[in-house]
Every structure is written in structure tokens, then in C-alpha cells.
Amino acid sequence: MNETTKAYFSDFFPLEADDLETFTEKFTYKFLKKGDYFIKEGELCSVIGFIVKGCMICVYNKDGDDVIDEFSMENEFISDYPSLLDNKPAEKNVKCIEDTELLIIKASDLNELYNQKHSFERIGRLIAELLFKNWHQKAVSLMLDDAETRYLKLIKEKPTLVQRVQQYLIASYLNVTPESLSRIRKKLHNKPFLS
């Protein structure tokens, strides 16, 4: 698996061959079935995952209702970063909505790499920036964009998502009703990027 791991990460991270070897050796392969949890609310999160294949959903519980925070797909990192940083229980569930293949690194192994070489600290920063960027883009969009614009941004960023995820989940993510999403999709039906 190490050669495959190196192939994935060589495109992501500016590392010399020896450093890339050291970095990828810390990752392990994990397969999760549809419905399995990667992170459970109330448990400590001690890992960061990189999705090789599959789709996961990040969900908060609000008074018994699911509030969808994010969909994560191929070539994206996934974690509960506040839990990881502060060593506190995760506040969300991360669940597979498809069979999912992951490459996983323990936070303790990542910290060990940080202490070895400055280049690994830079990689850690890049991972954190990718996780933050995804969160920030959604937060700003929820504040500033209307529902149609949020939907258009979602399908631009994740064009295969609408074929892979049930519509009521996408509606929840966009903070609209399924009926509103249906109207948006009908309105945009003849747009070239949706056909």
C-alpha cells in the first residue's frame, strides 16, 4: 500500500522522495462499509483520514435532529479538528454514505513527524489549511448566499455529489426544505452544467 499512498500524496505535498517515504509510512489503510462511523459524537478523535474512494457525511445533533455540516469525498481530508487539537470529545458524527476507503494517520504520529523535520510541519499546516478552507467556505456561503447560489457552488465543487447522495441530505446541508431544493433543481434543469 505504501507505493499507492505515495502516489496519492506526491500530488498534494511538496516533499523530497525520502521525506515522502517517511510521511506515507505513517498512514494505514482502512475500509469502512456504508453506514459505518469514522468519528462518533462524544468520543475522542485522534486521527485524520484521507478519502481514497467513497463519500462521508459530517452531522451534528441539534435537539434530536441531524444538521449536516459537510460531505467529504475522494481526495479530501476528514477529521474533527477541534477534538483533535483540544483532546476533547467530538461534537459531530462522521458516517459513510458509501463504502469508503481511507488512508489514516494518527495525530500522535503526525506530531512525531513535526518534531523530526520542518518540512513535515509545513505538511501539517497544509492539511489544517485544507480542513479550515472547506469549513470557512461553507460558513461564508451560509451567511451571504441565497439557496440557489449555495446549490450552484456545491455542484461546481462536487459535481458527482447529486448523483451519489439523497436529495433530502443535500437540502439539509443547504439549509433549505426538500421542496425548496426541488424547485431550485427544476429552475436550473436546463443549465448546461446540470445536464
Kindly report, residue by residue over 129-157, the tens digit of the pLDDT. Answer: 877 777 777 777 777 888 889 899 888 88
- Residue 37, pLDDT score: 97
Q: The pTM is what?
A: 0.84
Higher local confidence (pLDDT), 17 or 98: 98
Residue 151's H or E segment, with its range, is: helix 147-157
Per-residue confidence band for 117, with pLDDT thresholds at 50, 70 and 90: confident
- Per-residue pLDDT averaged across 14-40, rounded? 90
The partner residues of 102 in beta bridges, in order of sequence, read 30, 51
Burial level of 160, CB count in 10 A (0-12/13-18/19+)?
Answer: exposed
Per-residue confidence band for 33, with pLDDT thresholds at 50, 70 and 90: very high
- Residue 190, pLDDT score: 63
Q: What is the dihedral of CA 53, 91, 151, 103, to 10 degrees?
A: -10
Q: What is the dihedral of CA 38, 52, 193, 178, to 10 degrees?
A: -10
Query: 105, 101, 100, 83: which is closest to 92 by C-alpha?
Result: 83
- Residue 94, pLDDT score: 96
Residue 14 has pLDDT above 80, yes or no: no
Per-residue confidence band for 2, with pLDDT thresholds at 50, 70 and 90: low
What phi, psi does 149 have (nearest 5°)? Answer: -65, -40
pLDDT tens, position by position, 58-91: 999 888 888 888 899 998 889 988 888 888 999 9
Average pLDDT score over the chain:
86
Residue 13 has pLDDT above 80, yes or no: no
| Sign, CA torsion 38/40/41/46 | negative
CATH class for the region spanning 2-107: mainly beta
- Residue 1, pLDDT score: 52
Q: Which of 4-13, 17-26, 80-89 shows the lowest per-residue confidence on average (mean pLDDT)? A: 4-13
What phi, psi does 77 have (nearest 5°)? Answer: -85, 150
Residues of the chain above pLDDT 70, percent:
94
User: Where do the domains of the chain lie?
Assistant: 2-107
For 137, the 3-state DSSP assignment is helix
Residues of the chain above pLDDT 90, percent:
38
CB 26 within 8 A of CB 113: yes
